[in-house]
Amino acid sequence: MTSAIYPGSFDPVTNGHLDIANRAAALFDELIIGVYDRPSKHLLFSTEERVDLIKKAVTHLPNVRVTSYSGLTVDFAREVKAKVMVRGLRMSSDFEREFEMALMNKNLDRDVELVCLMTSLEFQFLSSSLLKEACELGGDINDLVPKHVAAALKKKFPQTRKRVGK
Ligand code: ADP
């Protein structure tokens, strides 16, 4: 049985993340989505909220579970007995970052292999940070996230006014 982890901040989960999770779930016996509890970026959602939002979005995938983790991602992989780490690639800057992280992770644990899945065309511009910015400025984000995530985002930005003419 091959288990894989899909680690990230998921602040919040987007349809781009879910596309990668769906495809990875079809490749591996078990996929464990790891929500990193303290990334070095400003977070909008708490760890518990980020986990809950993903859990609700993957209920249709029986071989996927969601959990938070702290510390090194390779230690998380070892803890859940996963040999593979899945990441998504959008643009060349993602590749450079993933390549650097992969080399560091290989240095820390030779047994964990990185598998990168290319984004689907419709999600290549989609990141959690741009999504939050667009939502805060009143942009329509309904096609970019599941319904419950759009609702959670709108709750975080209650003062946001509708754009003129929308
Ligand atoms: P991190 O802070 O670890 O980069 P993210 O939540 O931003 O966490 O992303 C988790 C993973 O999902 C990363 O590998 C990222 O490249 C990938 N990802 C994010 N958005 C997309 C998308 N639209 N298409 C494909 N992969 C994506």
Catalytic residue, from 9, 50, 87, 128: name it: 128
Distance 90 CA to ligand 1 centre (A): 8
What is the spatial distance between Cα 91 and Cα 119, in angstroms, rounded to a whole number? 9
User: What structural domains and CATH numbers belong to the chain?
Assistant: 3-122 (3.40.50.620)
Q: What is the pLDDT of residues 71-85, one digit of tens each?
A: 999 999 999 999 999
Given a contact cutoff of 8 angstroms between Cβ atoms, the answer to whether 105 and 74 are in contact is: yes
Residue environment code for 141-155, b if the CB has 16+ CB neighbours within 10 A, otherwise e: beebbbeebbebbee
Distance 161 CA to ligand 1 centre (A): 28
pLDDT at 64: 98
Question: Is position 128 annotated as part of the catalytic site?
Answer: yes
Q: How many CB atoms lie within 10 A of CB 111?
A: 10
pLDDT at 91: 82
pLDDT at 124: 93
Alpha-carbon 95 to chain mean position = 16
**pLDDT over threshold 70, residue 160:** no
Alpha-carbon 67 to chain mean position = 12
